[in-house]
């Protein structure tokens, strides 16, 4: 028994030792693990601190760059204000010819310096700096591709007119009129390309072309944009560093080259953010083109196309184009063919007169820059031989020579030519010409017009005189209209009654026409046609109306033949829509 007890004691002692050793080992391992975790936590804290420090340093660097550029801008603007201001004052005093030339040179150089260095260089560098520190999310929204391109080119219209360069755009017919994409990013890219082209192009044209890519469907629309010019191109040695933003050593005398460098860096990053890449096709001495493709979407709330109803009855009309620029003529002819017109081309006034002597033409589209003797002389010759032939003048915004005899022209269109304005002008001119052949203007209203084109019309107009005028003129045509004096009244009326068409003033009390249109587009299940009828006729006003959701635009004072054309056009659309519903 004693031996057995001794054996048990020994066994317990051995077991206890192993147990104690195991516990000690676990404790030791736990301690080691704890030290490792603490070490890793310290490293993570160190990395986090370094990251916070790097972020702070980046923010400080960005703020420093911004402050530096802002200070640079201020330090340039302040003395230049004095230079330009005093030079202008000096220029208004009695100076001899030499002194006048000197002060004019000072003003020109000062203005160019301020524009080139401050506006171009600093703005691009600020944008570049901003992109370094920000990574904004893509902001897609629906927009009209035609209005978008026209707004981009409009920004350069004056500079293009001064150098005689054509600003053109072309959208393939299979590209939807409204798409969903990041409009602001896209605008910055195309503006950079056009800016560079304007600087490099002294003659010829700058063209933005838009095409639909492969494998397109309603959810995924790859669209390619190409900006090409006939300028000097890019020298071969500069191509490898084109998107690196490398400043030339003598940058102080080459501000536009700096702008081009940073502009292309910005454009490349913006395109990459939209999921695309930029391709360069360069021809040193004869121009270059930049192409990029991005994936867009079809706009589900896209307004329907109205050109088919607008063009009803105008198909096959023969239009003579007078334009010496072959590229501009080609794209204008293509657009007219898409509208079912028949274009005939002449490169000068003399050739145009020869063509008119051989064939019958319904309309002349004359480019002012292509008429050697000026638009007035050639138009007078045309009118003498063909008094009822309408002539539409296409001219640069800085050319007002036509105003000596504006009655010679059915319409005058500024460059760059806007698609909707061109179509409206052609339809109005050809239809008015047809009516003039048998009727005087005072009896311009066709018989049974309202019966042929029935419409229930609401007029939004706050001016009492204009209210009386529109009621009388619509009454003479055969329509009974209702009046709403502001946007709130418009919303009340359209909420309880169905109208085919709303003639919408823009500037009204309580709620303006733009806001009322947006509310109608959001709230009504059955949508009326809305036409702006407004005195807002400055550049961009038409686009604002269309972007708010309006279908068309008439500027005041309203001409009767234009009003008739609008009513006919949209009555046909309303009829076709009702026929589809009944089917």
pLDDT tens profile 487-526: 999 999 999 999 999 999 998 888 999 999 999 999 888 8
| Token reading at 118 | 């401050």
Q: Quick one: pLDDT at residue 255? A: 42
Strands 287-298 and 278-283 come out as: antiparallel
Query: Whole-model pTM above 0.95?
Result: no
- Dihedral angle, C-alpha 365, 369, 371, 376, nearest 10 °: 80
pLDDT bucket at 432, cuts 50 / 70 / 90:
low
CA atoms within 13 A on the CB side of 504: 34
User: Does the bond joining 388 to the residue before it have cis omega, within 30 degrees of 0?
Assistant: no
Question: Stretch 253-281: mean pLDDT, rounded?
Answer: 71
529 has which bridge partners? 501
- Tell me how far CA of residue 295 lies from CA of 164, 188, 221, in angstroms: 35, 17, 5
Residue predicted with more confidence, 450 or 436: 450
Confirm if 224 and 291 have CB atoms less than 8 A apart. yes
The rounded distance, in Å, linking the Cα atoms of 126 and 112 is 20
Which pLDDT score, from 0 to 100, does residue 258 have? 43
Residue 257 confidence (pLDDT) = 44
Residue 575 has a pLDDT of 85
The residue with tokens 């660097």 is 61
Beta strand pairing status for 529-534 and 552-555? Answer: parallel
Which tokens is 179 given?
């798409």
Structure confidence at residue 441 (pLDDT)? 40
Please check the confidence at residue 139 and state whether its pLDDT lies above 60: yes
Helix residue ranges, H only, 92-144: 97-113, 123-133
> What does the mean pLDDT of the chain come to?
78
The answer to whether 259 and 192 have CB atoms below 8 angstroms apart is no
Neighbours of 162 (CB within 10 A): 11
Contacts of 246 (CB under 8 A, 6+ apart): 261
Which residue would you say has higher pLDDT here, 122 or 99? 99
The mean pLDDT value for 374-398 works out to 85
- What is the reported pLDDT for 134? 47
Q: What is the average pLDDT across 552-566? A: 81
Give 213 or 292, the one with higher predicted confidence.
292
Model confidence pLDDT, tens digit, residues 270-279: 888 888 888 8
| Nearest to 160, CA basis, from 208, 122, 105 | 208
Pick 43 or 202 by higher pLDDT: 202
For residues 313, 318, 324, 328, the Cα torsion angle rounded to the nearest 10 degrees is 30
H or E element, residue 551:
none
Residues 163-196 have pLDDT tens digits of 889 999 999 988 888 888 888 889 889 988 998 8
Closest CA to 551 of 533, 538, 525, 526: 533
Q: What is the rounded average pLDDT of the residues 9-31?
A: 60
């Amino acid at each position: 028994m004693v031996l057995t007890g001794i054996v048990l004691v020994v066994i317990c002692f051995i077991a206890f030792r192993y147990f104690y050793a195991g516990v000690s080992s676990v404790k030791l391992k736990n301690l080691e693990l704890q030290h490792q975790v603490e070490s890793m936590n310290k490293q993570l804290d160190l990395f986090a601190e370094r990251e916070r420090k790097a972020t702070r340093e980046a923010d400080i660097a960005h703020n420093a760059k911004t402050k530096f550029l802002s200070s640079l801008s201020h330090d340039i603007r302040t003395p230049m204000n004095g230079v330009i201001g005093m030079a202008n004052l000096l220029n208004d005093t009695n100076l001899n010819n030499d002194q006048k030339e000197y002060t004019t040179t000072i003003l020109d150089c000062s203005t160019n310096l301020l524009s080139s260095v401050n506006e171009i260089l600093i703005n691009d560098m600020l944008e570049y700096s901003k992109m370094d520190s920000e990574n904004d999310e893509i902001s897609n929204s629906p927009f009209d591709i035609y209005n978008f391109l026209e707004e981009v080119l409009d920004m350069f219209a004056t500079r293009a007119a001064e150098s005689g360069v054509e600003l053109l755009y072309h959208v393939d017919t299979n590209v939807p009129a409204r798409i969903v994409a990041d409009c602001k990013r896209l605008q910055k890219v195309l503006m950079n390309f056009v800016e560079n082209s304007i600087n490099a192009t002294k003659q010829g044209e700058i063209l933005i072309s838009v095409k639909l890519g492969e494998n397109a469907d309603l959810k995924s629309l790859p669209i390619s944009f190409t900006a090409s010019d006939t300028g000097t191109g890019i020298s071969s040695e500069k191509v490898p560093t084109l998107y690196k933003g490398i400043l030339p050593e003598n940058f102080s005398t080459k501000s536009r080259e700096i702008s081009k460098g940073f502009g292309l860096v910005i454009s490349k990053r913006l395109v990459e953010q939209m999921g695309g890449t930029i391709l360069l096709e360069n021809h040193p001495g004869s121009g270059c083109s930049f192409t990029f493709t991005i994936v867009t979407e079809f706009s589900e709330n896209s307004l329907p196309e109205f050109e088919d109803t607008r063009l009803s009855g105008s198909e096959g009309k023969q239009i003579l184009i007078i334009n010496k620029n072959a590229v501009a003529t080609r794209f204008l002819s293509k657009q007219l063919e898409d509208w079912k017109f028949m274009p005939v081309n002449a490169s000068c006034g003399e050739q145009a007169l020869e063509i008119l002597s051989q064939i019958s033409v319904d309309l002349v589209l004359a480019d002012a820059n292509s008429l050697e003797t000026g638009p007035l002389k050639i138009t007078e010759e045309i009118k003498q031989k063909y008094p009822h032939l309408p002539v539409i003048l296409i001219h640069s915004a800085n050319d007002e020579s036509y105003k000596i005899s504006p009655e010679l022209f059915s319409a005058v269109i500024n460059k760059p030519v806007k698609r909707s304005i061109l179509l409206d002008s052609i339809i109005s001119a050809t239809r008015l010409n047809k009516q003039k052949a048998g009727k005087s203007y005072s009896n311009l209203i066709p018989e049974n017009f309202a019966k042929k084109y029935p419409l229930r019309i609401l007029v939004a107009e706050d001016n009492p005189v204009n209210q009386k005028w529109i009621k009388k003129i619509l009454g003479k045509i055969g329509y009974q209209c209702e009046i709403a004096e502001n946007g709130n009244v418009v919303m009340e009326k359209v909420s309880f009654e169905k109208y085919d068409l709303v003639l919408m003033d823009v500037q009204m009390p309580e709620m303006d026409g733009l806001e009322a249109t947006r509310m109608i587009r959001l709230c009504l299940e059955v949508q009326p046609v809305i036409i702006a009828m407004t005195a807002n006729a400055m550049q961009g006003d038409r686009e604002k109306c269309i972007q708010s959701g309006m279908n068309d635009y008439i500027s005041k004072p309203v001409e009767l033949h234009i009003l008739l054309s609008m009513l006919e056009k949209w009555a046909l659309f309303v009829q076709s829509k009702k026929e589809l519903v009944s089917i």
